Amino acid sequence: MKRIQINHGRIIDPANSIDRIGDVYIADGKILSVTSKPDAFEADIQIDASGQVVCPGFIDLSTRLREPGQSRKGTFKSETLAAASAGVTTLCLQPDTVPVIDTPAVAELIKELAEKAGYPQILPIAALTQKLEGTELSSMLSLKQAGCIAVGHANQPVKNLLILRRAMEYAASHDLLLMLRPNDYWLGNNGCAHEGALATRYGLPGIPEAAETIALSQCLELAELTGCRVHFGQLSCKRSVIKIQQAKNDGLRVTADVAMHQLHLTENDMTPFDSAYHVLPPLRTEADKQYLRQGVATGTIDGIASDHQPHDLDAKLGAFPETEPGISALETLLPLLMKLVVEGALTLPEGIAALTSKPAEILGLRRGALTPGLSADVCIFAPGSAWRIDEDNWRSQGTNTPYWGHTLKGRVTHTLQAGLIIHKSA
């Protein structure tokens, strides 16, 4: 294994309260030292990070790679290249693959695909119920033993609260983390936009905030009843942030994240109904966006996820309500973080913490920091480097992003995973 020295970068490591100019030393795939050169250290590779930020590799709490089962939308190869180019070194894979991640055999298949793609740090989330049908529990313990990091239900409904209670009791008894996007499927009523003035004006089927907050409230009650650790993903509205804050104040073991696009876009950005803006949960109001930003800044919302969902062209053709929801989001993760910093919503260390140390803490991983002895997962980026989002720069197979053709600032120059350089800009 090669020895690597990263020179003269601005090292931001929130877990260790480091924000200073210095060098990082790597050997045998692990962080050897930060700022202080070890005795007799001779680097095989030197990386000049002058004018750049050096931080832990990003950990994405919610990703779809579309394999197995939907390789026309994306593959492990294409999407892990996108992740590497975005500074992401660990991916949590939602269970709604084809087949669903509900048996150890499918979890093993995920690991094999990850190894073949040269990106081993993909952590499958196991399905809470068999085939995500919401009726019969999966073999959660076997799935954990097969390498699943948590249990979840992707965007599918759990049809019976008793099923959810039993699942949470089982998860609590084996210290399994439940990762859930709160959503009452029936209140959502196959909607495609926030139930508000814009949806009413244009006749779009709306999704009320209550579809999220009622499901969130029910699960919080069950979390208190069962003692289950719950992570709520992809929150979208002010009232959800308030409920999470109250739950934390009451001592419940809950955490939360928000998709990066929810911190930037609102229902008003949807016109003229470009399907790239069709997401679940839907884009909500300006007040919701501001409250979500505040939630991240105060720590009520622990992490920021990409909620990466690449699609093929057919999925995004047709009338807005008929298209499939989701944004190809890995590669805009850093530029949109830099936009938050420029707009004063977060400091850069706060934003990096939401993508590194806090996700690691949620998942119970010894990653997300530049602590000596930890795996050398490192992201180096030029914060002021502008780049145009187009076919010349894009890695993901899915081009379904509302930022296509935009020029944003913040470009990853190097990504290291366990001490291996998996991305280097040209």
The encoded tokens of residue 245 equal 């804050």
pLDDT of amino acid 426: 74
Q: What is the DSSP letter of 173?
A: H
Distance between CA atoms of 218 and 225, rounded to whole angstroms? 11
For 360-400, how does the pLDDT look when each residue is reduced to its tens digit (9 = 90+)? 999 999 999 999 999 999 999 999 999 999 999 999 999 99
Residues 267-275, mean pLDDT to the nearest whole number: 88
Across the beta sheet with 150-152, the strand order is 58-63, 88-93, 122-127, 150-152, 177-180, 229-232, 254-259, 303-305
Distance between CA atoms of 123 and 143, rounded to whole angstroms? 12
pLDDT of amino acid 205: 95
pLDDT of amino acid 1: 64
Question: Closest by alpha carbon to 226, among 276, 180, 274, 280?
Answer: 180
For 184-214, how does the pLDDT look when each residue is reduced to its tens digit (9 = 90+)? 999 999 999 999 988 998 899 999 999 999 9
Question: Closest by alpha carbon to 13, among 369, 383, 416?
Answer: 369
Q: What are phi and psi of 421, to 5 degrees?
A: -80, 110
pLDDT of amino acid 214: 97
Using the Cα atoms of residue 57, residue 384, residue 290 and residue 65 in order, give the sign of their dihedral.
negative
Residue type, 125: I
Question: Closest by alpha carbon to 264, among 343, 350, 181, 347?
Answer: 343
pLDDT of amino acid 101: 98
Catalytic residue status for 307: yes
For 283-306, how does the pLDDT look when each residue is reduced to its tens digit (9 = 90+)? 999 999 999 999 999 999 999 999
**Which residues contact residue 308 at a Cβ distance below 8 angstroms, ignoring those fewer than 6 apart?**
60, 62, 63, 64, 79, 82, 327, 328, 329, 330, 396
pLDDT band for position 414 (50/70/90)? very high
pLDDT of amino acid 269: 93
Residues 81-109, mean pLDDT to the nearest whole number: 98
pLDDT of amino acid 273: 84
pLDDT of amino acid 89: 98
DSSP state string for 94-148: PS-SSS-S-SHHHHHHHHHHHHHTT---EEEEEESBGGG-SSSB--HHHHHHTT-
DSSP state string for 238-272: HHHHHHHHHHHHTT--EEEEEEGGGGT--GGG-TT
- pLDDT higher than 90, residue 311: yes
- pLDDT higher than 90, residue 418: yes
Of the candidates 307, 312, 377, 390, the residue annotated as catalytic is: 307
**Which residues contact residue 109 at a Cβ distance below 8 angstroms, ignoring those fewer than 6 apart?**
68
3-state secondary structure of 214: helix
- pLDDT higher than 80, residue 272: no
DSSP element (H, E) containing 335: helix 333-342
- pLDDT higher than 90, residue 271: no
For 18-75, how does the pLDDT look when each residue is reduced to its tens digit (9 = 90+)? 999 999 999 999 999 999 999 999 999 999 999 999 999 999 999 999 999 999 999 9
pLDDT of amino acid 31: 98
Using alpha carbons, list the distances in angstroms from residue 86 to 248, 310, 341. Answer: 32, 15, 17
For 331-363, how does the pLDDT look when each residue is reduced to its tens digit (9 = 90+)? 999 999 999 999 999 999 999 999 999 999 999
| Greatest C-alpha distance within the chain | 70
